[in-house]
């Protein structure tokens, strides 16, 4: 479905955007693949990896999702949008809340409005486990963003544009991940542990991209897709990265959780289970007609999907092999 189409990725110079570009170019023949981001140096570096001379479909578009007028230019004749732009550093968001809100909430609304105005066919927004029952500002802004994208399907009514959300956990080795930090710290013989009980959902960058592209094909508009993922304990991770290092417990940072959650009990009544993922349907009577009862299986009324009560865990050699096979980004 991506052959001959114009695809735009907001925040396209990030970890996800680069891997998504790599996969799209290797498997499909898009008419245009537009990288929309605000960092000219990262665009310059990405253009060395994916030059327009080798990939004539590539376009590099400087801009910020806060700038609606610039989005109007960028979205001209675009078929599909992947919204990956966000300010996502939890402590930085706690200290700079208004900046996070401008990008993650106002920027999301700009993407929605311009996509509808420009007749974009499908938009998939990337979310995070931190958006479920948020305790930090970053999570709260992403929850707002999720709500905006789901509700957008109702206000565009019978228009062609459809919006959906993909929510997944921490990405192995991405910028800001704890793994590059552990790898640096192991040179000094000691790792800093926030809390030994901490757990997180785990996904590779390639798995995340594959899931998002698949959701473009399966989306009806208004749902939140949640992949089934393994959990990782912080101590298991520390031992896998640096088995001989000592550990220093420093306490949880502002806005952190012990366990991350992707589906709460309050969303259980809206959730359907499939072989390898869940779908949270919109709680909106205008959108209910898009979804049949024959798709997926209802979950239990008290169902909750968090990294602490998960039944799938990565440990020992399985975790070590994953770390060895995953490239790390600084």
Classify 98 as helix, strand or coil: helix
Within 10 Å of residue 150's Cβ, how many Cβ atoms? Answer: 23
**CA gap 104, 141 in Å, rounded:** 6
How does pLDDT run across 163-215, given as a tens digit for each residue?
Answer: 999 999 888 867 667 888 888 899 899 999 999 999 999 999 999 999 999 99
**CA gap 97, 99 in Å, rounded:** 5
Within 10 Å of residue 187's Cβ, how many Cβ atoms? Answer: 9
Contacts of 23 (CB under 8 A, 6+ apart): 206, 209, 210, 213
Within 10 Å of residue 312's Cβ, how many Cβ atoms? Answer: 10
Per-residue pLDDT band at 232 (split at 50, 70, 90): very high
Residue 300 belongs to what H/E stretch?
none
Integer-rounded Cα radius of gyration of the chain: 20
User: Taking Cα atoms as reference points, which of 233, 240, 245 lies closest to residue 325?
Assistant: 240
Domain boundaries, the chain: 6-169+204-228+262-306
Out of 48-62, 121-135, 244-258, pick the least confident.
244-258
Flag whether pLDDT at 329 surpasses 70.
no
Quickly tell me which residue has 């996969």 as its tokens.
Answer: 23
Beta strands 162-166; 170-171: pairing state: unpaired
| Global model pTM greater than 0.85 | yes
Classify 323 as helix, strand or coil: helix
Active-site residue list = 130
Token output for 222? 């208004």
> In the CATH scheme, what is the homologous superfamily, with its name and number, of domain 6-169+204-228+262-306?
NAD(P)-binding Rossmann-like Domain (3.40.50.720)
């Amino acid at each position: 479905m991506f052959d001959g189409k114009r695809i735009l990725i907001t925040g396209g110079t990030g970890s996800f955007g680069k891997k998504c570009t790599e996969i799209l170019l290797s498997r499909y023949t898009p008419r245009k693949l537009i990288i929309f981001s605000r960092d000219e140096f990262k665009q310059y570096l990405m253009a060395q990896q994916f030059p327009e001379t080798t990939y004539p479909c590539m376009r590099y578009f400087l801009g910020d999702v806060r700038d609606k007028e610039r989005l109007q230019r960028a979205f001209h004749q675009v078929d599909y949008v992947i919204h990956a732009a966000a300010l996502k550093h939890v402590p930085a968001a706690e200290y700079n809340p208004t900046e996070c809100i401008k990008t993650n909430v106002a920027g999301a609304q700009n993407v929605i409005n311009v996509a509808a105005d420009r007749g974009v066919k499908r938009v998939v927004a990337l979310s995070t486990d931190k958006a479920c029952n948020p305790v930090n500002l970053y999570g709260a802004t992403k929850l707002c963003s999720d709500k905006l994208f789901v509700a957008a399907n109702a206000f565009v009514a019978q228009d062609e544009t459809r919006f959906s959300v993909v929510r997944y956990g921490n990405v192995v080795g991405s910028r800001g991940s704890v793994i590059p930090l552990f790898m640096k710290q192991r040179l000094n013989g000691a790792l800093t542990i926030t809390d030994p009980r901490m757990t997180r959902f785990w996904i590779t960058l390639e798995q995340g991209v594959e899931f998002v592209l698949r959701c473009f094909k399966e989306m009806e508009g208004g749902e939140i897709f949640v992949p089934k993922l393994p959990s990782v304990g912080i101590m298991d991770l520390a031992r896998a990265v640096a088995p001989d290092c000592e550990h220093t417990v420093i306490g949880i940072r502002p806005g952190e959780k012990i366990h991350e959650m992707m589906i709460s009990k309050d969303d259980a009544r809206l959730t359907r289970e499939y072989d390898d993922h869940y779908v949270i349907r919109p709680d909106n009577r205008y959108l209910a007609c898009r979804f049949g009862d024959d798709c997926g299986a209802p979950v239990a009324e008290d169902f909750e999907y968090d990294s602490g009560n998960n039944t799938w865990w990565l440990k020992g050699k399985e975790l070590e092999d994953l770390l060895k096979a995953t490239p790390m980004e600084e």
